[in-house]
Amino acid sequence: MQDLIAGAEALIFDFDGTLVASPELYAAGWRQAFSKAGYSLEPGWYHRRAGLSEQVLLDEFSQQFGAAFNRRQVTDDMRQGVIDRLHMLREISQVAAIARQNAGAKPMAVASSGPQAIVVPSLRTVNLLSCFDAIVTIEDVAQAKPAPDLFLKAAYVLGVEPENCLVFEDSPQGILAAENAGMRCLDISQLV
């Protein structure tokens, strides 16, 4: 792993499930939001989809359950549910340590399928915001992972060619997105 990091010109980190242990916060936020819309959400259903962008998750829920709801309201309620629980957020120490060790030494970015409204306050909560030169979120690109858009945008903002970037990821769709971007990828399950 040290050789991969040393050989990379830039480091790009996924956020949810990679830098922070946030799936439970999102699961609770989604349960709360769907409940307010008149639907119940089984925790396992969400966990099988953790890491999906909001719109993709809403599409899957709507299609699978034939649900009709105000998408903007459900999204806003979910985001507020997560923000209300940020005091419970914990970093994934092995990955956060890599970010802290390389801050200022290499260009670094976060590339998240999550919204800026959650990612930035979350980074601030775990004292990681200052480590990164760029924060790229779903609002900054046309397509969510497994499309390469998030990682390619992060490389562009950092001014580094994609093949010279190393990605830290936890989800199958994120690992595929890194491959689709032509970047080397470290599956963090090998670290934690």
Report the distance separating Cα 54 and Cα 131, nearest Å.
26
DSSP state for residue 163 in the 8-state scheme: G
Q: Which two structure tokens, joined as six digits, stand for 83?
A: 């923000």
Report the distance separating Cα 55 and Cα 61, nearest Å.
10
pLDDT tens string 32-59: 999 999 999 988 899 888 878 899 999 9
Instruction: Confirm whether pTM is higher than 0.85.
Output: yes
| Beta carbons of 164 and 5 less than 8 angstroms apart | no
pLDDT tens string 95-146: 999 999 999 999 999 999 999 999 999 999 999 999 999 999 999 999 989 9
Nearest 5°: the CA angle 106, 130, 144 is 75
